[in-house]
Amino acid sequence: MWGASTSAHQVEGGTDNNWSEWEKKNAERLAREAHSKWDPGQREKFPEMLKAENYISGKACDHYNLYEKDFEIAKELGHNAHRFSVEWSRIEPEQGTFDEEQIEHYRKVIRSLREKGIEPFVCLWHWTNPVWLEKEGGIASELFVPYFSRYVDKVSQALGNEARFWVTLNEPTSMLAAGYVKGSWPPQKRNPFAALSIYKILSDAHKEAYGILHKNCENIKVGFADMLWYLEPANKNSILDKLVVKIADYFTNGKFLKMTEGFNDFLTAQYYFYRKFSFPGIAKNSFEDITDMGWDIHAEGIYHIITHLKKYNLPIYVTENGLADSEDKKRTKFIKDHLFCIHKAISEGADVRGYFYWSLLDNFEWDKGFWPRFGLVEVDFETQERRIRPSALEYKKTCESNELEIEE
């Protein structure tokens, strides 16, 4: 399968959830902090990062209204699969009250994809909570599991048989780390003990959802979207460096997967980050090749993380992999290099069945706002015009031929 991913809050526009509330309260602060957070070069290239409105998701890409047009573009780009998320706060705006019109909206979204020969991968939670749930403690609350289960039950009874692939949660570990350890995302806590209990809450939520989806639907496959980091010791001969890698690897890559073992029909890899560790912490990476956001580009890492998943003997989908590159200078090589490394893992026995580039559209990049441009398709957020980037046409060749052209 070849395609791209999006998430509701980042593209739909008009969402009313814990993130949209947080944005209103934090936009001014984020704009102020951008002066010291980013390099002068980045500030010059993306002056919008210094303005509060950059940090308000607002209309985003208006994908809620323009999805038909966007899926036409995906089709034109040769995609045969697409991952998107259902926005819980639309489906259950008040606790226990479900909005049938919104369920109908997502039925149309799924059908629109299928009509175009695009396989939908439906994600049920991509980090946003309805406001009422956040008030009750969000993912840190024991109530998250029964509330999530009720929502999954409702959605899967209504839509379960419309799609074959279901993703329960997006990157549980990213959300718990940024929201409860680093304290940079809502609800901005710094409480590692809460984070530990959230592993349990979210893994229970996934396992319950797995059961509910299978009870309500036939012939479906269920998994969760997993952020996997490629971690290495700075000094391969140092026992201490290797020890820090082991610990970091356990919390970022291993723990959640272990806690959900037996409750996944497929595994996923979402790969963005490569880090070297030197006891007792993170070493300075080489930063030879970076994205607009300053993230290291290290394609080989995807080979290692996929190879590591082989032992579970399950189909693997790369449900996200991409970069912020406003000028589209690096995207083609980025995609090709990562696909090359994925192919190497496949040729050594990894059962990789799909690749979803992040993202189909430029979108709202959480606490960074609109300036990081991840899209295969450029979006003018004022006019909502779409413009296909050259890299999208290169990727199209692979999507259509199932082959990767490389230069010798």
User: Which of 38, 241 has the CB closer to ligand BGC?
Assistant: 38
Residues 26-55 that bind ligand BGC (CB under 6 A): none
- Max CA distance (Å), the chain: 60
- For 278-314, b/e burial (b = at least 16 CB within 10 A) is bbeeebebeeeeebbbebbbbbebbbbbbebbbeeee
User: Which of 10, 102 has the CB closer to ligand BGC?
Assistant: 10
- Torsion over CA of 393, 10, 99 and 160, rounded to 10 degrees? 50
Q: Decide: is 18 part of the binding site for ligand BGC (CB under 6 A).
A: no
Residues 335-364 that bind ligand BGC (CB under 6 A): 358
Q: Considering only residues 174, 264, 268, 391, which one is a binding residue for ligand BGC as defined by CB under 6 A? A: 174
Q: Considering only residues 3, 7, 15, 26, which one is a binding residue for ligand BGC as defined by CB under 6 A? A: 7
Region binding ligand BGC by CB under 6 A among candidate stretches 103-111, 170-178, 184-192, 213-221: 170-178
Q: Considering only residues 92, 241, 337, 365, which one is a binding residue for ligand BGC as defined by CB under 6 A? A: 365
**Is the CB of residue 119 less than 8 Å from the CB of residue 47?**
no
**SS3 helix, strand, coil % of the chain, rounded to 5?**
50, 15, 35
CB of 126 to ligand BGC, least distance (A): 6
CB of 174 to ligand BGC, least distance (A): 5
CB of 362 to ligand BGC, least distance (A): 11
- Cα Rg of the chain, angstroms: 20
User: Which of 99, 367 has the CB closer to ligand BGC?
Assistant: 367
**The pair of three-digit structure tokens given for residue 335, joined into one six-digit string:** 């995609």
Region binding ligand BGC by CB under 6 A among candidate stretches 55-63, 166-174, 347-355, 394-402: 166-174
User: Which of 116, 255 has the CB closer to ligand BGC?
Assistant: 255
Q: Decide: is 128 part of the binding site for ligand BGC (CB under 6 A).
A: no
User: Which of 7, 15 has the CB closer to ligand BGC?
Assistant: 7
Q: Decide: is 171 part of the binding site for ligand BGC (CB under 6 A).
A: yes
User: Which of 22, 216 has the CB closer to ligand BGC?
Assistant: 22
Please report where in the chains the tokens 């899967």 appear, as a residue. Answer: 156
My answer on whether omega of the bond before 233 falls inside 30° of 0, hence cis, is no
Q: Decide: is 227 part of the binding site for ligand BGC (CB under 6 A).
A: yes
CB of 292 to ligand BGC, least distance (A): 12
Q: Residue 261 burial by CB count (10 A; 0-12/13-18/19+): exposed, middle or buried?
A: exposed
CB of 358 to ligand BGC, least distance (A): 5
Judged by CB under 6 A, how many residues of this single chain contact ligand BGC?
A: 11
Region binding ligand BGC by CB under 6 A among candidate stretches 47-55, 130-138, 167-175, 260-268: 167-175
Residues 6+ apart with CB under 8 A from 254: none
Query: What is the C-alpha separation between 265 and 209, in angstroms, rounded?
Result: 13
The count of residues in the chain is: 408
365 has which bridge partners?
Answer: 369
CB of 402 to ligand BGC, least distance (A): 25
Of the candidates 205, 272, 314, which has an alpha carbon nearest to the alpha carbon of residue 5? 272
- Torsion over CA of 321, 6, 17 and 69, rounded to 10 degrees? 160
Q: Decide: is 170 part of the binding site for ligand BGC (CB under 6 A).
A: yes
Cα of first residue to Cα of last residue in the chain, in angstroms, is 26
Question: x/- binding map, residues 243-282, to ligand BGC, per CB under 6 A?
Answer: ---------------------------x-x----------
Quickly count: other Cβ atoms within 10 Å of residue 401's Cβ.
Answer: 11
Distances (CA, A) of 163 to 82, 107, 182, 217, 219: 11, 9, 36, 9, 9
Q: Decide: is 92 part of the binding site for ligand BGC (CB under 6 A).
A: no
User: Which of 160, 229 has the CB closer to ligand BGC?
Assistant: 229
Q: What are phi and psi of 365, to 5 degrees?
A: -90, 65
CB of 317 to ligand BGC, least distance (A): 14
Question: x/- binding map, residues 307-326, to ligand BGC, per CB under 6 A?
Answer: -------------x------
The residues that touch ligand BGC, with contacts defined as CB under 6 A, are: 7, 10, 170-171, 174, 227, 270, 272, 320, 358, 365
